Amino acid sequence: MNNCVITIAREYGSGGKTIGKMIADEMGIPFYDREILKLASDDSGINESLFAKADEKMASSPLFKIANRVYTGELIPPDSDDFVSNDNLFNYQAKIIKELAEQGPCVIVGRCADFVLKDNDNVVRLFVHSTPEKNLETVCNLKGMEEKEAQKLIDKTNKHRAAYYKCYTGRDWDNAKNYDLCLDSSRLTYEKCVEIVKAYISIR
């Protein structure tokens, strides 16, 4: 499979981001996560902090949970009152994701990249999940939190990711039909997950 682009959606605490970075390192290709915010800021001229704050504002808005803004690829022009709206901030991130995919192989974490690139034949879409117990253990160790506090963070983060995905794709975030591979990182080491992805790419 040439020019392979790998997108990763993941449960909080499942190690999806770490696995993505390991895949990028193994394959010698770029890795993109929050770097997309800066690239979108540079491209649009919109302050990077607005991109970072958009997720928080949307997560706290009751309208966000019922809205349907399925991404179509259209950008809002600078002379519009909606130029710095949450929807247009997403549109610019999607624009960057498409450009990165055109430039060559890479790994992209989050940002509904699997949907943004749904028409690209060279994309491998991953969803990384784990058991609730393993997610909790990982977050407790990573954040130095007590279990109750860590569980609240996991629930809040996953709820937001699901709502964000639903809003811009019209799909359920954890539906296996959206992805090429769903990996349970509690049953496999991160290294084994990387091996499976590389093997899948080699035979596709």
Residues 149/160, Cβ–Cβ less than 8 Å: no
- % of the chain beyond a pLDDT of 90: 64
Q: Which residue has the tokens 């899948």?
A: 200
DSSP label of 109:
E
Q: Which residue has the tokens 């499976």?
A: 196
List of residues 6+ apart from 7 with CB closer than 8 A: 107, 108, 109, 113, 114, 117, 123, 124, 125, 126
The answer, yes or no, to whether residue 194 has pLDDT greater than 50, is yes
The pLDDT tens digits for 82-121 are 676 777 788 889 999 999 999 999 999 999 999 999 999 9
Residue 181's CATH number:
3.40.50.300
Separation CA 45–CA 96 (nearest Å): 13
Supply the range of the domain harboring residue 73.
5-203
Query: How does the average pLDDT of the chain come out, rounded?
Result: 87
Model confidence, pTM: 0.88
Query: Which stretches within the chain are classed as H helix?
Result: 16-27, 35-44, 48-60, 62-66, 86-103, 113-116, 132-143, 147-169, 190-203
In the chain, the number of structural domains is 1
The answer, yes or no, to whether residue 26 has pLDDT greater than 90, is yes
**67 — pLDDT class (breaks 50, 70, 90):** low
Separation CA 115–CA 112 (nearest Å): 6
Max avg pLDDT among 13-27, 44-58, 155-169: 13-27
List Cα–Cα distances, 26 to 29, 75, 101, 107, in angstroms: 8, 35, 18, 11
Residues 198/27, Cβ–Cβ less than 8 Å: yes
Max avg pLDDT among 39-43, 162-166, 171-175: 171-175
Give the mean model confidence (pLDDT) for residues 160-188: 92
Instruction: Extract the tokens encoding 162.
Output: 């699901």
Q: How buried is 106 (Cβ within 10 angstroms: 0-12 exposed, 13-18 middle, 19+ buried)?
A: buried
